[in-house]
C-alpha cells in the first residue's frame, strides 16, 4: 500500500487500463504535451512518455469535436477517455453527449455500443463563475448516460477502471479540490492508502462512508468529506451521523440509501450542485415515495443558493455548503 | 467527360438503378405521407440522388457513413434494405431502428450506416471519430459524412474537419449544397460562393462538383475515397444540387424563385444520367424501363412488408437504453 491522491489514483487507473487493453486511449486538450501540464489538473502527466502521442492524443481546443470524435471512435470499438479540462467547457460538447452518445444505441437496435469515458472536473475552487459549476445533476437527467462521482482516491481508481471497461457512455465527475493539488489552501488532502494490485468498484453501488444511528447524511464528491468532518465534531455531542456516498448517480443504489434511512429515520442531503432539480431532490423523492412511514422528521437539503458561483472568497464561502451549515441543520432536526 | 474505361458497365447500371430506387422510394413515400398512412414528418431527397448513389458506389460494405435529417437516399445507397426502411417509416417493429427512430434516424450498422443524426452538423465529428478509430485500428475503413450547406456554419463542422485534417484521417466530408438551409439561401449565411473554399482553412483539398451529374460525382468521390484510404487525409467535396421538393412535408417553397426552380428542375439528375448511359451504349431505353419496373416491384414489396409487419409493443420503449440492463 502507498498513499495516493485522487489525481495519482486516476492516473494509475488510466495507465493500468491502457497497459491491459490497447483500445484504451486518452483524447483531450493539453494532456500529453512535453513540458506541458498533463491536462488542466496534472492527471495525465507523464503518460505520453509511456504510451506515446498516438494514445495520449492532444487535440485543438474543440470540445464538441473531442466529444464527437471520441464517440465515433468508441462506436468502432476503441475505448476513449476524453478530457475537456474544466467541466464548465463541456457545455460546448453537449449536443454530442446528449444527442449522440446517449441515443445512438437506442436508435441502432442495440447494435451500437458507445464505451466512452468523459472525465469532467467540477466544483467551486476559487476560480469564479465559469470554472466552478457542478454538472452531475444536469447530465443525470439524460437517459443513456451513466454518472460516476468518486470522492476518494480508492473510489476514483476502482470506479474509473470500471468506467473504462463499461460498454456505455460514462460521465466521470471529479472534484477539483479533491485532486490533491498542493499550493491551493482551499484544496483538501484526501490522500489515502490505495492498493497497488488490481481492483474494481462496480458502478451503481453506494458506500457507507461512516456508520451512525441518528441521521443519514447523503453527500457526493467534496460534500462527503464535509459530512465526515461534521460527523467527527457531532460525535463529541453524542450524535452519530451515518454518511452515505452514492458514488454513482446513474444507476443509483437505492437499496443502501433506503436501508440507512429505515435505520435512522432522518435524512439530510448536502450537495454542492444546485438544489433545484438536483440529485438531492431525487434522493428525497425516492425516500418519501418508498419509505415515507419510516421518517421521523421532514427530509432536508443543504446546498448553494440559486445563483452563479461568485468569485470573492467571502461570497464563495457563503455559497458553498460547509460543515457549519450541516451541523446547524442536524441541531434543528435532533432538537 | 465521362471516361468509360474508368467505370465498369455494371457499376454504371448499378449506380443508375440506385438513383431510380431512391426517386421511386421518395415519390411513393411522399404520397403515403399525404394519404396519412405514416406518422411523423419527412425530409425528402428527390433531386439529390446522384450524390448518395455515386459516393456510396465507391464505398465498401464495411465503410461507414453518417447522415442527416434527410437520410433516405443515403440509406438506400449504402444498402439498407428497402423493407426495413419502409417499415421504419410505418413505425413498425421490423423497421431499421425498430421504430425508435423514424424518418430522421434511418441507418443500419450491418451495412455501415450509423443511425442518421438529425442535429445539423452533429454527424461530422462522429464520422471523424469513426475515421480516427479506423486509423488507430488499421482497419482500412473509410468514413463519409454527408451534410448540407447549412451544416458548414456549425461549430461542429469546423472542429471536426480541422481534426480530420491535422490527423490525416480516412474521412471524406461530402457537402450536398442544395442552396438552402431550410428556407434560408446560402448567400444570406456565407460570403463565399463555394463551400469547398472552406477546405483551404484546414489545409485539405476542396472540390466543387456538379452534384446533379452522377458521373462527375463518381469521379471526384472515387478520388477522395481512394485518397482517404491511402492515409492521405480528408477531402471536402461540395456537390451542387437542388431539392426538387420542400425542406419538409409542409414546405411549399415560397422562398424560392420560379426562375431558379425552373432552371434546376430541368437539370434532373436521373434523365441526364439515362441519356448519357444510352449515348454510351451502356443502357437502352428498353433496359431503363425494365429497371424502373423492377424497382417499382421492390418498392411495392417494401410497402406490403411494412403494412403487414407488427407494431412494436409499448414496452419496447424500455429496450436498448444501456448495454447490459435498463438502468
* Per-residue model confidence (pLDDT) at position B110: 98
Dist. CA B246–CA B116, nearest whole Å: 20
Dist. CA B38–CA B85, nearest whole Å: 12
Q: How far is B255 from chain A (nearest CA, A)?
A: 29
Dist. CA B202–CA B191, nearest whole Å: 18
Q: Residue holding cell 441543520?
A: A329
ipTM of the complex: 0.95
Dist. CA A96–CA B126, nearest whole Å: 8
- C-alpha neighbours within 13 Å on the C-beta side of residue B262: 3
Please indicate whether, in this complex, the C-beta atoms of A72 and B119 are within 8 angstroms of each other.
no
Helices marked H in A53-92: 63-75
Dist. CA B129–CA B163, nearest whole Å: 9
Render each residue's pLDDT in chain A as its tens digit; 335 residues.
799 999 999 999 999 999 999 999 999 999 999 888 899 999 999 999 999 999 999 999 999 999 999 999 999 999 999 998 999 999 999 999 999 999 999 999 999 999 999 999 999 999 999 999 999 999 999 999 999 999 999 999 999 999 999 999 999 999 999 999 777 788 999 999 999 999 999 999 999 999 999 999 999 999 999 999 999 999 999 999 999 999 999 999 999 999 999 999 999 999 999 999 999 999 999 999 999 999 999 999 999 999 999 999 999 999 999 999 999 999 999 98
Decide if A203 touches B, using CB distance below 8 A: no
Q: Residue holding cell 428542375?
A: B265
What single DSSP character describes residue B325? B
Dist. CA B262–CA B272, nearest whole Å: 16
Q: Average pLDDT for residues B236-262, to the nearest whole number?
A: 91
A53 is catalytic: no
Which tens digit of pLDDT belongs to each residue from A161-186? 999 999 999 999 999 999 997 777 88
Q: How far is A315 from chain B (nearest CA, A)?
A: 35
Whether residue A114 contacts residue A169, with contact meaning beta carbons closer than 8 Å, is answered with: yes
Q: Rg (Cα) of chain A, in Å, rounded?
A: 20
* Per-residue model confidence (pLDDT) at position B5: 57
Which among A59, A72, A104 is the nearest to B133, CB-wise? A72
Helix or strand (DSSP H, E) at A248: strand A248-250
Report the DSSP pairing between strands B206-210 and B235-240: parallel
Helix or strand (DSSP H, E) at A32: none
Three-state DSSP class for B106? coil
Q: How far is A139 from chain B (nearest CA, A)?
A: 15
Closest-CA residue in chain A for B133?
A73
* Per-residue model confidence (pLDDT) at position B8: 85
Decide if A74 touches B, using CB distance below 8 A: yes
CA distances from B285 to A165, A237, B8, B268 (A): 58, 96, 19, 17
Helix or strand (DSSP H, E) at A255: helix A254-264
CA distances from A82 to A54, A147, B63, B137, B243 (A): 14, 15, 25, 18, 38
Residues 6+ apart with CB under 8 A from B65: B56, B59, B74, B78, B112, B113, B114, B127, B143, B144, B145, B146
- C-alpha neighbours within 13 Å on the C-beta side of residue A54: 11
Q: How far is B300 from chain A (nearest CA, A)?
A: 25
Decide if A69 touches B, using CB distance below 8 A: yes
* Per-residue model confidence (pLDDT) at position B139: 97
Dist. CA A213–CA B151, nearest whole Å: 58
Question: For the stretch B135-147, what's the b/e string if a residue is b when 16 or more beta carbons lie within 10 angstroms of its beta carbon?
Answer: bbeeeebbbbbbb
Whether residue B77 contacts residue B56, with contact meaning beta carbons closer than 8 Å, is answered with: yes
Decide if A68 touches B, using CB distance below 8 A: yes
Task: Delineate the domains of chain B, giving CATH numbers in brackets.
Answer: 4-318 (3.40.50.970)
Q: Which chain A residues are Cβ-neighbours of B160 within 8 angstroms?
A: 64-65, 68-69
Best CA proximity match to B236, nearest among B192, B206, B201, B216:
B206
Q: All 3 cell numbers of residue A306?
A: 440559486
Task: Delineate the domains of chain A, giving CATH numbers in brackets.
Answer: 2-194 (3.40.50.970), 207-334 (3.40.50.920)
Residues 6+ apart with CB under 8 A from A228: A209, A210, A243
Report the DSSP pairing between strands B64-66 and B206-210: unpaired
Q: Which chain B residues are Cβ-neighbours of A143 within 8 angstroms?
A: 321
Query: In this structure, what is the dihedral angle of CA atoms A68, A70, A74, A80, given to the nearest 10 degrees?
Result: -160
Residues 6+ apart with CB under 8 A from B126: A68, A69, A71, A72, A75, A96, A100, B66, B114, B117, B145
Q: Which chain B residues are Cβ-neighbours of A70 within 8 angstroms?
A: 129
Dist. CA A119–CA A180, nearest whole Å: 16
Indicate whether B327 pLDDT > 50.
no
Active-site residue identified among A53, A131, A175, A225: A131
**Mean pLDDT lowest among A51-55, A184-188, B12-16, B100-104:** A184-188
Amino acid at each position: 500500500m502507498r498513499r495516493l491522491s485522487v489525481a495519482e489514483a486516476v492516473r494509475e487507473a488510466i495507465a493500468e487500463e491502457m497497459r491491459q487493453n490497447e483500445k484504451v486511449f486518452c483524447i483531450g486538450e493539453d494532456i500529453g504535451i512535453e513540458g506541458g501540464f498533463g491536462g488542466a489538473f496534472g492527471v495525465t502527466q507523464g503518460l505520453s512518455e509511456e504510451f506515446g502521442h498516438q494514445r495520449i492524443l492532444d487535440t485543438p481546443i474543440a470540445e464538441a469535436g473531442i466529444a464527437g470524435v471520441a464517440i465515433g471512435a468508441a462506436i468502432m470499438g476503441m475505448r476513449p477517455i476524453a478530457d475537456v479540462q474544466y467541466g464548465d467547457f463541456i457545455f460546448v460538447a453537449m449536443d454530442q453527449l446528449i444527442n449522440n452518445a446517449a441515443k445512438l444505441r437506442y436508435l441502432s437496435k442495440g447494435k451500437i455500443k458507445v464505451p466512452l469515458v468523459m472525465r469532467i472536473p467540477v466544483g467551486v475552487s476559487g476560480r469564479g463563475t465559469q470554472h466552478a459549476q457542478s454538472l452531475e445533476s444536469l447530465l443525470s437527467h439524460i437517459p443513456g448516460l451513466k454518472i460516476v462521482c468518486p470522492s476518494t482516491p480508492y473510489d476514483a481508481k476502482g470506479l474509473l477502471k470500471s468506467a473504462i471497461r463499461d460498454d456505455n457512455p460514462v460521465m466521470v465527475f471529479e472534484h477539483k479540490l479533491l485532486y490533491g493539488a498542493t499550493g491551493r489552501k482551499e484544496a483538501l488532502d484526501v490522500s489515502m492508502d490505495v492498493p497497488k494490485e488490481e481492483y474494481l468498484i462496480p458502478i451503481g453501488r453506494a458506500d457507507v462512508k461512516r456508520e451512525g444511528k441518528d441521521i443519514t447524511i447523503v453527500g457526493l464528491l467534496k460534500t462527503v468529506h464535509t459530512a465526515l468532518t461534521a460527523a467527527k465534531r457531532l460525535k463529541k455531542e453524542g450524535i452519530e451521523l451515518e454518511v452515505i456516498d452514492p458514488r454513482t448517480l446513474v444507476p443509483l443504489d437505492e437499496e443502501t440509501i433506503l436501508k440507512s434511512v429505515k435505520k435512522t429515520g432522518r435524512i439530510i442531503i448536502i450537495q454542492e450542485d444546485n438544489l433545484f432539480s438536483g440529485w438531492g431532490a431525487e434522493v428525497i423523492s425516492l425516500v418519501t415515495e418508498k419509505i415515507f412511514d419510516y421518517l421521523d422528521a421532514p427530509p432536508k437539503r443543504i446546498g448553494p443558493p440559486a445563483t452563479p458561483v461568485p468569485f470573492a472568497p467571502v461570497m464563495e464561502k457563503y455559497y458553498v455548503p460547509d460543515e457549519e451549515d450541516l451541523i446547524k441543520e442536524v441541531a434543528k432536526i435532533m432538537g | 467527360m465521362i471516361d468509360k474505361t474508368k467505370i465498369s458497365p455494371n457499376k454504371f447500371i448499378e449506380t443508375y438503378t440506385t438513383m431510380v430506387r431512391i426517386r421511386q422510394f421518395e415519390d411513393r413515400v411522399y404520397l403515403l405521407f399525404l394519404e396519412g398512412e405514416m406518422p411523423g414528418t419527412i425530409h425528402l431527397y428527390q433531386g439529390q440522388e446522384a450524390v448518395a448513389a455515386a459516393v456510396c458506389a465507391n464505398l465498401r460494405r464495411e465503410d461507414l457513413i453518417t447522415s442527416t435529417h434527410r437520410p433516405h437516399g443515403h440509406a438506400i445507397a449504402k444498402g439498407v434494405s428497402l423493407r426495413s426502411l419502409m417499415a421504419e417509416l410505418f413505425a413498425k417493429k421490423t423497421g431499421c431502428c425498430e421504430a425508435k427512430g423514424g424518418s430522421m434516424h434511418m441507418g443500419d450498422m450491418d451495412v455501415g450506416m450509423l443511425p442518421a443524426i438529425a442535429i445539423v452538423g452533429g454527424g461530422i465529428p462522429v464520422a471523424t471519430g469513426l475515421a480516427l478509430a479506423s486509423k488507430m485500428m488499421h482497419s482500412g475503413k473509410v468514413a463519409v459524412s454527408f451534410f448540407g450547406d447549412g451544416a458548414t456554419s456549425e461549430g461542429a463542422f469546423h472542429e471536426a474537419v480541422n481534426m480530420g485534417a491535422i490527423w490525416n484521417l480516412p474521412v471524406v466530408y461530402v457537402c450536398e449544397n442544395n442552396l438552402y438551409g431550410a428556407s434560408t439561401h446560402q448567400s444570406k449565411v456565407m460570403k463565399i460562393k463555394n463551400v469547398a473554399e472552406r477546405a483551404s482553412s484546414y489545409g485539405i483539398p476542396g472540390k466543387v462538383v456538379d452534384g446533379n451529374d452522377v458521373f462527375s460525382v463518381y469521379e471526384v468521390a472515387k478520388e477522395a475515397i481512394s485518397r482517404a484510404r491511402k492515409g492521405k487525409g480528408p477531402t471536402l467535396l461540395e456537390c451542387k444540387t437542388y431539392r426538387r421538393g420542400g425542406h419538409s412535408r409542409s414546405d411549399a417553397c415560397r422562398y424560392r424563385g420560379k426562375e431558379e426552380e425552373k432552371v434546376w428542375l430541368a437539370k434532373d439528375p436521373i434523365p441526364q444520367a439515362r441519356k448519357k448511359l444510352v449515348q454510351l451504349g451502356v443502357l437502352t431505353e428498353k433496359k431503363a424501363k425494365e429497371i424502373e419496373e423492377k424497382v417499382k416491384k421492390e418498392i411495392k414489396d417494401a410497402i406490403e412488408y411494412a403494412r403487414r409487419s407488427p407494431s412494436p409493443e409499448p414496452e419496447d420503449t424500455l429496450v436498448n437504453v444501456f448495454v447490459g440492463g435498463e438502468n
